[in-house]
Structure 1
Amino acid sequence: MPLTIIDSLHAVPADVWDGLLAQPQPFLRHAFLSALEDSGSVGGRSGWQPSHRLWCDEHDKVQAALPAYLKQHSYGEYVFDHGWADACRRAGIGYYPKLLGAVPFSPVSGARLLGDAHAAGDLLDALTAGLSQEELSSLHINFTSPACDAVMVRRPGWLERLGCQFHWHNRGYRDFQDFLDALSSRKRKQMRKEREQVAGQSIEFDRRLGHELSEADWDFVYHCYANTYHVRGQAPYLTRDFFSLLAERMPEMIRVVFAAQRGRALAMAFSLVDGDTFYGRYWGCLAEFDRLHFETCFYQGMELAIAEGLQRFDAGAQGEHKLIRGFEPVLTRSWHYLRHPGLHAAVADFLEQERSGVRVYAQEARSYLPFRQPDNG
């Protein structure tokens, strides 16, 4: 059979896997996904069991692939189907395990069906046809690219779900002041005041590349990252080893901003980059300071993106507070194939209404953007 299931990315050579990628997005690279596995961030008791799907030709050459995981829960996905699972529980319908095509813990849109488009379509058809045999309730593919959407929309049974994120776009700004000049007077003053409030607390920032960080630095990064979960009474998704492995395997894509006050480290923001995009990922602080989050995560990231000539700043899921700082609404898509006819019909009705609401929300959100209008200084 051309369909192969592997429980570790190490079953595929890195150059073969990366050769399927149309773009060098860091989250889909062999280095990133294998670091999740090797660090224990997925697998084991995490509820994320690697179950990657490959489509091979008659010579066993990989033509297409889907990074996939067997899920026993719906945490860490950022496309929320807890309500669907709860409805199944109340109706006596099994919802878990399910199969998820996604990058764990990373709400970043990108390719999911990797490789040749025709072969990827065959892979997708084989997966849906085999769900019953694998005793899986459903197949979900989250945060898809337009190319993936084109494959999905032509196939029956798939339900489209829309979401909304907020991304910042670098429109050729020379520096941060050039960006400020594009804003209305009131918003420009507000951002300057926020930055002055941080500077007035004697907080300084240090930006570093992946190869410039020591293991002690990574200890601090992880301490901050884990603290964002601990303060909410949750366990962090990623392990400490993940950061060291990533620094070893793809240091050129790592950017970290450190914040310190009079030599005492306070906070960090961990990001990744590719050819044209800055991806803000993880943030954490060990002490609360007014406006420190906005400066460390957003304004420092904008400055870095401008300095490196990056065109887009993807700051992750949620966060309407990003709007007034110039992050524009962007629609995201996920796709869902549900075996149970009753569940499929109910979710289809729900998603039809939700899609309309999301589109209206994204359009209305644009009215809160801070950019200067022709009659507004």
Structure 2
Amino acid sequence: MASSEITLEAVPSISDIPAAEWDACANPQVNPGSLDNLDTLAGDCQTISRSDYNPFVSHAFFAAAETSNSACARTGWGARHLVAKVETQIVGVVPCYLKSHSQGEYVFDRGWAEAYHRAGGSYYPKLQVSVPFTPATGPRLLIRGGVDRDRIGSALASGLRALCNATEASSVHVTFAREDEAKFLGEHGFLQRTDQQFHWRNEGYTTFDDFLSTLNSRHRKAIKRERREAVSDGVTIHWLTGADITEDAWDAFFEFYMETGSRKWGRPYLTRKFFSLIGESMSRDVLLVMAKRNGRWIAGAINFIGSDTLFGRNWGAIEHHPFLHFEVCYYQAIDFAIQRGLKVVEAGAQGEHKLARGYLPQTTYSAHFIADPALRRAIDDYLKRERAYVAEVGRELTDAGPFRKSADEA
């Protein structure tokens, strides 16, 4: 297979790619013993196994987003998924969308669009390589196990540049990529960008109190108080996953999502059908943390469960209680991760308020191909300064974190 020609094609729907073929690339499950001579992205030796499972790049997630009309041409997300084949076998795919705006991405380039417009250029359409509406790190060049990953990855990177030209797009944006993948794309002409989120890391804790014991006294007491007050008005907290997630639960959660999303964004991205489809196809990958008072659901947060990471996503509420947001979104996620033995909780985009609750800065990575040489030079210069700023802020925030630095802070 290594000497066979690689062919590339862009398809307009996830339904044009068989689920088994997509998932063999997105979450390859290969016997580690067969990988001794496997080339990897950026020359870094990695083992591909179930331990790398990421629910957001599964065929089921993209199918739910597209079939529910959450991500479709009408909403500005026109699928152009890039498929690489060797002979008749799919060996790589890239989740890619032709976009007419910059909404639902969480890596902000509106300033670039406005500057290009003032200079007489047209920034839209652009190509977006991402999981729609999902600021979670994961693979973006999805490559089948047991193949020459460097060769297939290079073909996909070249294919994205060719697709940019074919669609008359201004640019290609690969967002929330893994660090090694972003650097690999940098070797193929993509500009490098960094940002930061706040993630919680499990340092081998067996209980929530184990985690609390690593914090300084002030933050430990504050978290205990917040957790007490969050449920002080007869609120109870429930974990729903798998078959426990009924359509009634989805109805309640969608009400929360619409109420909060309408206030924050004006128009929430996800349709009600999306949640039903997720419930049908990947309920074992979902954790709903739901709050109940006086016999009815009043708030909830949706999380997705990876092999070693809990990904926090949307939150909403129809009653407002002090600290309930922190309890449902952050503390319950930590509790669940500890019980499941998960290593990381990704709590979504932005939010320095997460720092006081044990979530520390984590660098995120993206890669950007800009077709216009003048715009490319301007953005390249800007990104050099931005990367330095992100690194410095990350260091300062980490130093200001809530963890004990000496025995005196216990």
How far 1:53 moved relative to its partner? 0.3
Alpha-carbon distance in structure 1 between the residues aligned to 2:122 and 2:183: 30
Superposition pairs for residues 68-107 of structure 1, below 5 Å?
68-107=96-135
User: What corresponds to 2:25 in structure 1?
Assistant: 20
Alpha-carbon distance in structure 1 between the residues aligned to 2:288 and 2:230: 18
Residue type of the partner of 2:354? Answer: K
Question: Structure 2 residue aligned with 1:342, among 363, 374, 381?
Answer: 374
Alpha-carbon distance in structure 2 between the residues aligned to 1:283 and 1:257: 9
Answering whether residue 317 of structure 2 is matched by residue 285 of structure 1, we say yes
Question: Structure 2 residue aligned with 1:250, among 275, 282, 306?
Answer: 282
SS in 2 for 1:333: strand
Answering whether residue 342 of structure 2 is matched by residue 313 of structure 1, we say no
Alpha-carbon distance in structure 2 between the residues aligned to 1:232 and 1:374: 40
Alpha-carbon distance in structure 2 between the residues aligned to 1:186 and 1:117: 49
Contact 1:229 1:236 in 2 (8 A): yes
User: What corresponds to 2:249 in structure 1?
Assistant: 217
Contact 1:65 1:120 in 2 (8 A): no
Contact 1:278 1:314 in 2 (8 A): yes
Q: Deviations over 1:181-235 (max 9, x none)?
A: 1111111111111111123222111111132122111111111111112124611
- Count of residues paired in the alignment: 375
User: What corresponds to 1:121 in structure 2?
Assistant: 154
Contact 1:254 1:271 in 2 (8 A): yes
Moved over 4 A (4+): none
User: What corresponds to 2:224 in structure 1?
Assistant: 192
Alpha-carbon spacing, 1:45–1:315, altered in 2? closer, same or farther (3 Å): same
Question: Structure 2 residue aligned with 1:38, among 43, 50, 67?
Answer: 67
Answering whether residue 179 of structure 2 is matched by residue 151 of structure 1, we say no
Alpha-carbon distance in structure 1 between the residues aligned to 2:283 and 2:292: 23
Task: Give the percent of matched residue pairs that are identical in Structure 1 and Structure 2.
Answer: 39
User: Any unmatched runs of 5+ in structure 2?
Assistant: 1-5, 29-51, 144-148
Question: Structure 2 residue aligned with 1:329, among 336, 356, 361?
Answer: 361
Answering whether residue 290 of structure 2 is matched by residue 272 of structure 1, we say no
Alpha-carbon distance in structure 1 between the residues aligned to 2:264 and 2:184: 39
How far 1:290 moved relative to its partner? 0.8
Q: RMSD value over aligned CA atoms?
A: 1.3
Decide which moves more: 127-136 or 80-89. Answer: 127-136
Contact 1:210 1:256 in 2 (8 A): no
Normalization by structure 2: what TM-score?
0.89
Contact 2:238 2:290 in 1 (8 A): yes
User: Any unmatched runs of 5+ in structure 1?
Assistant: none
How far 1:130 moved relative to its partner? 4.4
Alpha-carbon distance in structure 2 between the residues aligned to 1:18 and 1:117: 19
User: What corresponds to 2:76 in structure 1?
Assistant: 47
